Amino acid sequence: MSGKRLLITGGFGNLGLWFSEYFTTKGYDIYILSKNIKNSFIYNSIQANIINLEELKEKLKYIEVDYVIHTASYNEYFHKNYAKKALLVNSLGTRNLIEVLKDKNIKNFIYLSTFHIYGTSSGVIDETTPPNPKNDYASTHLFAEFYLKQFYSSSNFPYIIFRLTNSYGSPKSISTNKWYLVLNDLVKSAYLYRKIVLNSNGEAKRDFIWIGDVCRVMEKSFKFEPNNIFNLSSKKSYNILFLAKKVRKIYKKRYKKDIEIVINKEDKTKPLNLVVDNSKLKKLIDFEFLDRFEKEIENIFTLLENNYG
């Protein structure tokens, strides 16, 4: 193998497109596995649904890769039958991939899990914090993690698990289904309605990490010793009102107009301080996580302008 062959599952998704573009610029031979093929003239595209084991076996029969980044997952909790779909895609789909790839001598299988598996909203969490998932998204990702451990034990299948916090970055396509993500939603509301309406008091804090940093960490992780789990966070928390004010600042600069931010004054919830510790990861890599909020807000406005006028 060339050493630079990479399979990205969900490669046309929100994270997947960032990874696909990033690793293309780094000279990797990219294979994208997706149930819906887009821009197939740019990448080596493989159309398959990961919940269908026999289809996966057929489509990946002759594909040889060095690394896999598994981003394909289902998080549309507002859809009908979400619990069943999440179990099929996030858990069984991951097992199917492992089943098909376990004899292909890949060097590392990188799995994008979620910090939600911890099920906590305050205090400091590190990789030794016991999982306590509180929703289907978290439970099904934790189940997938167990499959990776199972196949490492039985087949020496090499894996790295990243428990990712809230990633942000402008969508690569206007047709993304991730407009409900916080920063995307705030910018789109400002652009289309000249108003930002928060359902809460805006004080809730979250750890946000720029997707560009996630891309860089992914590349470094190819060389990590397998059978390991890392929190992937910036270790910095910001509240939603802070982000809304960032969006308003950029809006005023671009359009020479102000917009209103409306908060829910009935919400008396006190903000909790949650720290998603990334010390374990930073012991392996010399890395500075960047603050790219304003640049990505600009990029989202540009995407909206180019498509809505």
Does 246 fall in a domain? yes
- 46 and 141 fall within a common domain: yes
Residues 131 and 194 reside in one and the same domain: no
Q: Is residue 280 part of a domain?
A: no
pTM of the model as a whole: 0.94
Q: Are residues 117 and 227 in the same domain?
A: yes
Tokens of residue 184, six digits: 């995307």
Residues 187 and 130 in one domain: no
Q: Which two tokens stand for residue 227?
A: 């059978």
- How many domains does the chain contain in total? 2
Q: At a CB cut-off of 8 Å and minimum separation 6, what does 144 contact?
A: 90, 91, 94, 95, 111, 113
Q: For the segment 109-165, what is each residue's pLDDT rounded down to a tens digit?
A: 999 999 999 999 889 999 999 999 999 999 999 999 999 999 999 999 999 999 999
Instruction: Assign residue 256 the CATH number of its domain.
Output: 3.90.25.10
Same-domain pairing of 76 and 186: no
Domain contains 155: yes
225 with 266, same domain: the answer is no
Residue 178 lies in a domain: yes
User: Which of 21-25, 41-45, 150-154, 183-187 shows the lowest mean pLDDT across its residues?
Assistant: 41-45
| Domain assignment of residue 186, given as a range | 172-207+237-273+291-308
Q: Among positive and negative, which fits the CA dihedral 190, 195, 198, 204?
A: positive
Return the structure tokens found at 262: 């409306």
* Domain contains 221: yes
